[in-house]
Amino acid sequence: MNIEQKLSVEEIRSLLAKQDWAGLDSILALIHPADIAELLEALPVADRDGLFRRLPLEVASEVFDEMSDETRHGFFARFDDAYLADVLETLPMDDGASILEDLPKEKTDHLLTLMVPERAVAVQQLLTYPPESAGRLMRTDMAALQVDWNVSQAVEAIRAAPPDKTFYHLYIVDGENKLVGRVLSRSLLLAEPRQQLTEVMDSPRPAVHPETDQEEVARLVAKYDVVAVPVLDQQDRLLGVVTVDDVLDVIRDEATEDIQRMGGSEPLERSYFSTPALTIARKRLGWLLLLFVAGTLTGVVIEAFELVWTQVVVLALFVPLIIDTGGNTGSQTVSTIIRAMSVGEVSYKNIWQAWRKEVTTGLFLGLALFAIGILFSMVIFKVELGVALTISLTLMVVVLWSTTIGTLIPIIAEKLGLDAAVVSAPLITSLVDVTGLIIYYTLAGYLLGVFN
């Protein structure tokens, strides 16, 4: 929080203590709802509730949407349902649905009964769509223009529209509400009043269906540089629109989820501080146990190659080097591949092209490590040339193998309908550890004459 916000917190607490409601209202009127939400986090619960109650309903709804899950759940526990229903009712329907879906079903159903029936039905409809789909994100309160209108009629319709109607791109529909085009506001303002909308409109694409995954919606927004994506039913009728502010939330949430899974943990459904330590431990335990089992295979491999490392004891000194190099290379590769997959550059269709590129990269890295490995092992550890060549060749082969695993596994996982992040860094690192040791001791056994 910056200095200005700290001063605002101190001043607001002073005004609350003095019950200077006029002064408090004048300050709140100058602060953005997102900043008010941040201020609430810094206040004690009693002051937090009092401040929130002072906000006009429209501002309160925006603040409610911006605040953390922990603070919001506290309000649900302390405030009466009738007031909360008014706050939710003022929110855009997609934001209201997003908040309600995190509540127990009984609480959600009760709040919906307290809302205006038309609004409640619209929110309930959004909740029928699959989680993390375009249907859950879309706003249905957007305005549409009729295809047989001219520019003048369209402008008049926009002026006469209720203030809660959403105008991003202006979508054009026919008599059956089928989407036929869109027109930019700038094009509409510069057009002649008598021109038909068909003369100034362009393609409505990209468009999605309500079942489309939210990640695909985000990818389309980034690819086509649009601020909104229309949502159509199977008959191409306009149902709603997903706006860029919701897409930004999707990008943040998906990135957070992927980062947590790449670290070997199930993603948190709530904010970090509102999630109990026991829940965090439970989400991490499954992967720790799986990786623990995978780690025991390293001991099995070492025991299986006892003949090699007992005859050439110096090989044991370089086991951490081999394991770390393979794991780090695999992590680098899988991070690059998952990122490329998330932006649509890599998929199962070009899996071999991606593999060739990564293996070529791995070859360059392997050759560099081959040269460094010989110098490192002979100069620092004074090993014989045969051992140095074994170590260096192993480094090169392990790098090539790690880039192969790091490329193929995420792409194949996505093809099978699995989350690529789940099977990425931790699992690949464990796999590379085991296979890297097999490669190391196998090469050593043959190159150093142990298997002869």
The pLDDT of residue 297: 80
Contact 319, 440 (CB under 8 A): yes
Question: Averaged over 271-279, what is the pLDDT?
Answer: 68
**Statement: residue 2 has pLDDT above 60:** no
The pLDDT of residue 43: 85
Domains parsed from the chain with CATH numbers: 3-132 (1.25.60.10), 142-252 (3.10.580.10), 277-447 (1.10.357.20)
The pLDDT of residue 110: 92
The pLDDT of residue 38: 86
**Statement: residue 367 has pLDDT above 90:** yes
Phi and psi torsions of 11, nearest 5°: -70, -40
**Statement: residue 34 has pLDDT above 50:** yes
Instruction: Please give the mean pLDDT across all residues of the chain.
Output: 85
The pLDDT of residue 5: 47
Question: Residues 89-129: pLDDT tens digits?
Answer: 888 888 888 889 888 889 999 999 999 888 888 889 899 99
Split at pLDDT 50, 70, 90, the class of 389 is: very high
Strand ranges inside 124-264, DSSP E? 142-146, 166-173, 179-183, 228-232, 238-243
Contact 202, 181 (CB under 8 A): yes
Cα distances (Å, whole numbers) of residue 13 to 6, 19, 43, 51:
11, 10, 8, 9
243 pairs with which residues across the strands? Answer: 228
Single pTM value for the model: 0.65
If we measure between CA atoms, which residue out of 322, 291, 294 comes closest to residue 395?
A: 322
Q: Per the structure block, which two tokens stand in for 229?
A: 């994506």
The pLDDT of residue 210: 94
Query: Is the peptide bond between 426 and the residue preceding it cis, with omega within 30 degrees of 0?
Result: no
The pLDDT of residue 307: 80
Measured at the alpha carbon of residue 365, what is the angle toward residues 362 and 371, in degrees to the nearest 5? 135
If we measure between CA atoms, which residue out of 174, 247, 154, 161 comes closest to residue 206?
A: 247
Question: Averaged over 38-45, what is the pLDDT?
Answer: 85
**Statement: residue 1 has pLDDT above 50:** no
Question: Residues 291-317: pLDDT tens digits?
Answer: 677 678 877 888 888 888 788 888 888
Question: Residues 197-256: pLDDT tens digits?
Answer: 999 988 877 899 999 998 889 888 888 888 889 999 999 999 999 988 888 888 777 777
The pLDDT of residue 260: 64
The pLDDT of residue 452: 65
Phi and psi torsions of 139, nearest 5°: -100, 135
Q: Is 324 left (phi over 0), alpha (psi -120 to 50) or beta?
A: alpha
Question: Averaged over 346-360, what is the pLDDT?
Answer: 93
Split at pLDDT 50, 70, 90, the class of 442 is: very high
